[in-house]
Amino acid sequence: MIWGSLIILSLIHLYLCDFTLVGMIKFKDGDLPERVPDNSWLTVKVEDTSIMDVASVSLGSTTVPVQNYTKSNDGIKFRVENIKYAKVPEISVSAVLNMGWKPNGDKWLQKGDYLSDITHRLDDIEDKSTVTKDVEVRKYGD
């Protein structure tokens, strides 16, 4: 029984991969804020979205404060490390920028925040330690 468990764990380890995601939050045309207020937070999630009609599976995420952003910047940089996946066919990235407040529990979005409203798929990630993907967001509630 022990040998069978060890073999299964070894096989899972062979197929388990990990990578780091880096990119920029880009604002949809016309939605570019003049500035991002202090105490704003950015959440970026990486999820297995390969199975329809069920909840996605979290593969990694980060929630970080946003500081010193002005309209002249290109966007907001992000980094999600140690994303672990078992070679699933569809991995997606989503983002929420909370303007002037930090998300907590079920409260994660309010009017004036920014969110990604389209699917941002990660393609061709096999055998890469770092993957680059920009995520477009739009203003919520306007």
- Is the residue at 77 inside a domain? yes
pTM: 0.83
Q: Which residues are CB-contacts of 137 (< 8 A; sequence separation ≥ 6)?
A: 25, 26, 27, 28, 31, 95, 96, 97, 114, 115, 116, 117
Give the model's pLDDT for residue 44: 97
Average pLDDT, the chain: 84
User: Of 95, 96, 92, 79, which Cα lies nearest the Cα of 21?
Assistant: 79
* Rounded-to-integer distance, Cα 98 and Cα 43, Å: 8
Domain count, the chain: 1
- Provide the b/e sequence for 34-59 (b: ≥16 CB within 10 Å): eebeeebbbbbbbbbbeeeeeebeeb
Give the model's pLDDT for residue 12: 41
Give the model's pLDDT for residue 84: 83
- Is the residue at 92 inside a domain? yes
- Is the residue at 12 inside a domain? no
pLDDT of residue 124 exceeding 70, the answer is yes
pLDDT of residue 9 exceeding 80, the answer is no
- Is the residue at 4 inside a domain? no
| pLDDT digits 0-9 by tens, 35-53 | 899 899 999 999 988 888 8
User: Of 39, 74, 78, 47, which Cα lies nearest the Cα of 62?
Assistant: 78
Question: Which 8-state DSSP code applies to residue 92?
Answer: E
Structural domain boundaries, residue 110: 17-140
Residue with tokens 């002249």: 72
Give the model's pLDDT for residue 71: 72
- Is the residue at 27 inside a domain? yes
Question: Which 8-state DSSP code applies to residue 70?
Answer: B
Residue 127 sits in a domain of what CATH number?
Answer: 2.60.40
